[in-house]
């Protein structure tokens, strides 16, 4: 059943984005059921289910519903913008990777039961890829006669990845299927590989800075990935599965898996703190572990075939979305990073049959068209056309879903010069503004975000 009842009103014919047109099934989870289902113990998981952002398909995998898809698409657009700035090129690698490639690098055994494997009709074993170091190395190896002049090369993709988690939990934070942006860099020597590594790390810093949720970059362990250097990106949260050690003296951060937790490994200070966090990104300077095993080589100036130096960089796209909601939200109200909210503005028109409706219903389309003139609000405004409901009820729903700005067309709009009520959710402000003031306020609030 749809969360929102269809209205028979013929108003707002020039408005594209109307709430009654959105598939947003409600899924209220009773408190008793929450206590019995230990999987649902995170705010992000519960709110995204209840408010029709996602819906569970099976343990560890979810349907993304229209509002969730809009938020994901905004995040993907942001990532693509930053990837373009560093010259990364977008590809799509196959989901199925032949097991022989993973055997060549030794990771078939290292990952073990975490891998989803399938056999085809010829009894060949393939892996539903959790990551694509082997596949992209094999791609480069298949291109013969690559010259040193063709590097550096950065290839990235955004695809579903698969991991057979023994106990999926926290919704999108620990699933069996997840959306990931993975980038692979190829360079001719260690020095250039390090430069590419730092360039991608800077790009990741930009991505997380633009999202706007406080993040922490920490030294991490290379683990089964291998290589000589690794950094992790984290959001601090009580339900986080990682522990970060931070030094108040030098500002150094590291995952506690990387070493002891008594002193700072950077400056040896004992002014340290331990906090729980959610990993949302990871970078690795791999060296030639994969290129050497899979013959991903280039020809140097002397026409000698030499293994390429690689880097691997991952962003958990679906995890970033859930982790941001986890950090920002209240227990009963969702909060989005401003840049990622499915719609930035929601307009609430008068109730059907009210005295306001007969006089000012035309203002809904007028304000909608006016705000659409702002480039960052084009196709980013939603009208709550459930006019059979009171304004108060719809305002509660708008707060709960977390739309950053709510504009109410109420009784004050009946004055000679209409006054609009604006709720700024992030600042927790309610303002009464004339039309021109409304436009200026939103322009100023959003100019540095987009």
Per-residue model confidence as pLDDT tens digits over 162-218: 999 999 999 999 999 999 999 999 999 999 999 999 999 999 999 999 999 999 999
Q: Is omega for the bond preceding 152 within 30 degrees of 0, making it cis?
A: yes
Token pair 């009963």: residue: 332
Q: Is the pLDDT of residue 422 over 70?
A: yes
What residues are paired with 235 via a beta bridge?
Answer: 278
Q: In Å, what is the CA distance from 261 to each residue of 189, 198, 265?
A: 34, 26, 9
Burial of 55 (0-12, 13-18, 19+ CB in 10 A): middle
- All structural domains of the chain: 71-241+273-326 (3.30.930.10), 343-446 (3.40.50.800)
Tokens of 11: 């108003």
pLDDT tens profile 127-164:
999 999 999 999 999 998 899 999 999 999 999 999 99
| pLDDT grade for 363, boundaries at 50, 70 and 90 | very high
Q: Is the pLDDT of residue 98 over 80?
A: yes
Percent of the chain scored above 70 by pLDDT?
94
Tokens of 293: 């095993």
How far, in Å, CA of 392 to CA of 58, rounded?
A: 36
Lowest-confidence pick of 30-39, 295-304, 398-407, 434-443: 30-39
Q: Is the pLDDT of residue 29 over 80?
A: no
Q: Is the pLDDT of residue 17 over 70?
A: yes
Q: Is the pLDDT of residue 376 over 80?
A: yes
pLDDT tens profile 255-284:
988 866 678 888 888 899 999 999 999 999
Nearest Cα to Cα of residue 178 among 161, 195, 201, 198: 161
Go through the chain and tell me how many residues it has.
Answer: 450
How far, in Å, CA of 131 to CA of 128, rounded?
A: 9
Report the Cα 103 to chain-centroid distance in Å: 32
How far, in Å, CA of 82 to CA of 87, rounded?
A: 9
Tokens of 398: 């708008």
Give Dmax over CA atoms of the chain in angstroms. Answer: 85
Contact call for residues 392 and 351 (beta carbons, < 8 A): no
Q: Is the pLDDT of residue 10 over 60?
A: no
Tokens of 100: 């022989």
- pLDDT score recorded for residue 106: 94
Tokens of 220: 């991490």
């Amino acid at each position: 059943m749809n969360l929102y009842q269809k209205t028979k009103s013929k108003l707002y014919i020039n408005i594209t984005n109307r709430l009654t047109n959105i598939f947003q099934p409600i899924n209220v989870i009773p408190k008793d059921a929450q206590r019995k289902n230990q999987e649902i113990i995170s705010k992000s998981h519960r709110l995204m289910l209840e408010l029709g952002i996602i819906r569970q398909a099976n343990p560890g995998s979810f349907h993304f519903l229209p509002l969730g898809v809009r938020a994901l698409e905004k995040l993907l657009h942001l990532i693509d913008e930053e990837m373009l700035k560093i010259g990364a090129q977008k590809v799509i690698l196959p989901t199925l990777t032949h097991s022989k490639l993973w055997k060549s690098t030794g990771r078939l055994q290292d990952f073990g039961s975490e891998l989803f494997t399938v056999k085809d009709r010829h009894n060949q074993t393939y892996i539903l890829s959790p990551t694509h170091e082997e596949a992209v190395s094999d791609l480069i190896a298949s291109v013969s006669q690559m010259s040193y002049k063709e590097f550096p090369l950065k290839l990235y993709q955004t695809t579903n990845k698969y991991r057979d988690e023994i106990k999926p939990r926290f919704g999108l934070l620990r699933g069996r299927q997840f959306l990931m942006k993975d980038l692979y860099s190829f360079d001719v020597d260690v020095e250039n590989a390090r430069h590419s590594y730092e360039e991608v790390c800077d790009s990741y810093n930009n991505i997380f800075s633009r999202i706007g949720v406080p993040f922490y970059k920490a030294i991490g362990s290379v683990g089964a990935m291998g290589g000589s250097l690794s950094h992790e990106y984290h959001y601090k949260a009580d339900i986080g599965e990682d522990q970060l050690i931070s030094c108040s003296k030098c500002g150094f951060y590291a995952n506690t898996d990387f070493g002891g937790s008594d002193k700072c490994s950077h400056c040896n200070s004992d002014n340290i703190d331990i906090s729980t966090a959610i990993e949302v990104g990871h970078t690795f300077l791999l060296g030639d572990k994969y290129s050497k095993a899979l013959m991903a080589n280039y020809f140097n100036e002397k026409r000698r075939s030499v293994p390429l130096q690689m880097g691997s960089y991952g962003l958990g796209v679906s995890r970033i979305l859930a982790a941001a909601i986890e950090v920002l939200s209240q227990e009963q109200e969702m909060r989005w990073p401003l840049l990622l909210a499915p719609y930035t503005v929601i307009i609430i028109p008068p109730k059907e049959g009210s005295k306001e409706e007969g006089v000012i219903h035309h203002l809904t389309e007028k304000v909608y068209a006016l705000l659409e003139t702002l480039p960052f609000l084009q196709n980013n405004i939603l009208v709550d056309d459930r006019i059979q409901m009171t304004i108060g009820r719809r305002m509660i729903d708008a707060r709960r879903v977390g739309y950053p700005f709510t504009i109410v067309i109420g009784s004050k709009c009946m004055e000679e010069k209409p006054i609009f009520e604006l709720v700024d959710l992030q600042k927790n402000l309610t303002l009464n503004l004339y039309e021109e003031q409304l436009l200026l306020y939103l322009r100023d609030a959003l100019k540095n975000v987009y």
